[in-house]
Structure 1
Amino acid sequence: MVKLALIAAFAQQQSSNDHTGHDWAHLQRVTALTQQLLGNYPAVDQNVALTAAYTHDILDEKLVSSEAAVVLRTELITKYQQAGLTKKQIAAVFEIIDHLSYSKNLKTHWQLSLAGQIVQDADRLDALGAVGIGRTFYYGAAKGAPMYDPQVPPRTALTHQAYREVTPVLNHFYEKLFKLASLMNTPEAKAEAERRTVFMKQFVAAFKAEWQLPDTKTE
């Protein structure tokens, strides 16, 4: 029997000091969404999917250095083993978390297992809707990004390097978030993503309508 509580505790410990929107609450929501989606796919290895959901951000390049990631990978292997995952399951989890992120799929679209597709959908769903809006501005603030600059239009094509550049927060909605619904793997996630995207588009329209900087002149 896999002890998911051990994995969850490790994930909570690693994410406890995060202030970018990739904190323990995010991991809990992604895991809950994964669990919800798994209800439609009983043949999927739930332990693989839920383990990946809990730990999908532990090695994220935007959160940890490459040196720290090497150490954390070893710690993850140990924790997975202690939790009772088999060697095959551990390999399946790493295949997911190593290829899950949006940035990893900018150049090459990785074909994930169904378990991976479900976790990817859950992670992307948490980037949408009301919580997604909050996380977007939270992350932008952590990186020192301006909220909005009408003089800086959203980019239409992104490389991995360009994706990591600090740009106005509102541009992120056009460059990534509004595209996620069409990239969902499962029909259940796609339907929820479309609902959340409608809300976000309404928010962005209201935000831009309220963004009225006075045309002041100084002598």
Structure 2
Amino acid sequence: MGVYKNRLITGVRPKDEEKVETLREVIMPNDRMGDIPGEYREQHLAFLEQYRKLESERKRLGLIGLKAHVLSTLERNPVLVELAQGKMDGALSFFTGSNSFIIESMEELQMPQIDKVKMLVRELLGGDISGHADDHVERVALLAERFASECSEPVNLQEVLLTAWLHDVDDYKLVGKAQAEKLTNAVNIMAQAEVVNSLSQAVLENIAAIGYSKRLNGRQPQRLAGQIVSDADMCDAIGAVGIERALVYACYHGGRIFDPAVWPNVNLAAHEYNADGNTHDTDGFINHFFEKLLKLKGLMLTEPGRIEAKNRQQIMVDFLSHYFREKNAPEWSEFLEEYLRR
């Protein structure tokens, strides 16, 4: 029974439901543990413990149950089974347009590579105090997983999570431009985690196109997994957490918080925004809202991202409105209103 009960994790098949009911009537007619013969009780308890662990894993990974449910459906199609046998190493793959949606075997759905990647990323970024620490990366991963579950199109969850956890390990603000372009840390981490080459290349393609400065240069992710992570990353830069991160970053660099005499450059070009990885002349905590943060809502690539960004945008607008009023800076209040009308 425990074996079939575990199908609740992977997507219950009709024939399994029938078997569970038949077994239940035979060994647990009154639906009590005491009904189970003594020689089978220990085995049943072991099955239940396995089920508990699998359910915990399902909750942590979110979309795994959905993926496996699709797998169980595909398993019943003789043509697809025959196509997969001996050719795809235990995986069923089908393609929709330019996006590949890969349903892997249940062992692979445990995604051990993710745990290894998490550990290595935390070791690398755990000491960062510039606003790009591992807590930021973890928030992006959780938000990206949520966006993936809300998207109308299928997406490879493993690609989403790997991209999310690795998207900042080669950020130019942390490692400099030369290493950032090579994605050295991402390559090394995935090699240590033994991520398969096809998946590794997809993740690298995503990371190479994620970031505000890259958007200023006309680059953006083309794969859905990359678009999801891009939206999650930008959403973590706005809203209440975004306000906190912007303040931490300004303090870390010894920058100004607010100077009423220094107005933001709302039309910063890419070379001005990140010239040699340094801050620009008008950079500062408050100016950063106008030079970048309030623009991010318009850069979302997915519908879940657009919905989340709209909510977080309002939090920033409310903060700035209160801030300028309490700072007795009516000219800045007017500037904010004019900026939002554009």
TM-score (norm 1): 0.89
Gaps of 5+ in 2: 1-107, 330-342
Q: Deviations over 1:50-78 (max 9, x none)?
A: 111001111111111346558871x5334
Deviation at 1:97, TM superposition (A): 1.1
- Deviating beyond 4 angstroms after TM superposition, the runs of 4 or more aligned structure 1 residues are 66-72
Structure of greater Rg: 2
Aligned to 2:131: 21
Asked if the contact 2:170–2:186 (Cα under 8 Å) also holds between the matched residues in 1, the reply is no
1:115 aligns to 2:228 (yes or no):
no
Greater share of helix residues, 1 or 2?
2
TM-score (norm 2): 0.58
Deviation at 1:26, TM superposition (A): 0.3
Q: Which amino acid aligns with 2:298?
A: S
Please give the alpha-carbon distance, in whole angstroms, between the structure 2 residues aligned to 1:84 and 1:48: 14
Higher RCO (CA 8 Å, separation ≥ 6 residues) = 1
Asked if the contact 1:37–1:189 (Cα under 8 Å) also holds between the matched residues in 2, the reply is yes
1:99 aligns to 2:209 (yes or no):
yes
**Which of 162, 167, 180 lines up with 2:272 in the alignment?**
162
| Aligned-residue identity in percent | 33
Aligned to 1:197: 313
Aligned to 1:126: 236
Asked if the contact 2:163–2:207 (Cα under 8 Å) also holds between the matched residues in 1, the reply is yes
When residues 192 and 71 of structure 1 are mapped into structure 2, their CA distance, relative to the original with a 3 A threshold, is closer
Asked if the contact 1:7–1:79 (Cα under 8 Å) also holds between the matched residues in 2, the reply is yes
Asked if the contact 1:154–1:174 (Cα under 8 Å) also holds between the matched residues in 2, the reply is yes
When residues 156 and 99 of structure 1 are mapped into structure 2, their CA distance, relative to the original with a 3 A threshold, is same
Deviation at 1:160, TM superposition (A): 2.3
Q: Which amino acid aligns with 1:179?
A: K
**Which of 287, 292, 298 lines up with 1:176 in the alignment?**
292
Aligned to 2:191: 81
Please give the alpha-carbon distance, in whole angstroms, between the structure 2 residues aligned to 1:79 and 1:174: 35
1:153 aligns to 2:269 (yes or no):
no
When residues 72 and 114 of structure 1 are mapped into structure 2, their CA distance, relative to the original with a 3 A threshold, is closer
Deviation at 1:120, TM superposition (A): 0.2
Please give the alpha-carbon distance, in whole angstroms, between the structure 2 residues aligned to 1:112 and 1:144: 36
Q: Which amino acid aligns with 2:161?
A: L
Please give the alpha-carbon distance, in whole angstroms, between the structure 1 residues aligned to 2:221 and 2:180: 23
Please give the alpha-carbon distance, in whole angstroms, between the structure 2 residues aligned to 1:44 and 1:121: 15
When residues 160 and 197 of structure 1 are mapped into structure 2, their CA distance, relative to the original with a 3 A threshold, is same
Aligned to 1:217: none
Asked if the contact 2:257–2:285 (Cα under 8 Å) also holds between the matched residues in 1, the reply is yes
Please give the alpha-carbon distance, in whole angstroms, between the structure 2 residues aligned to 1:198 and 1:145: 25
Gaps of 5+ in 1: 214-219
**Which of 153, 162, 165 lines up with 1:54 in the alignment?**
165
Aligned to 1:136: 246
* Secondary structure of the structure 1 residue equivalent to 2:175: coil
* Secondary structure of the structure 2 residue equivalent to 1:63: helix
Q: Which amino acid aligns with 2:203?
A: V
Q: Deviations over 1:21-62 (max 9, x none)?
A: 110110110000011111134621111111110011111111
How many residue pairs are counted as aligned between the two chains? 212
Q: Which amino acid aligns with 2:294?
A: F
* Secondary structure of the structure 2 residue equivalent to 1:39: helix
Asked if the contact 2:258–2:287 (Cα under 8 Å) also holds between the matched residues in 1, the reply is yes
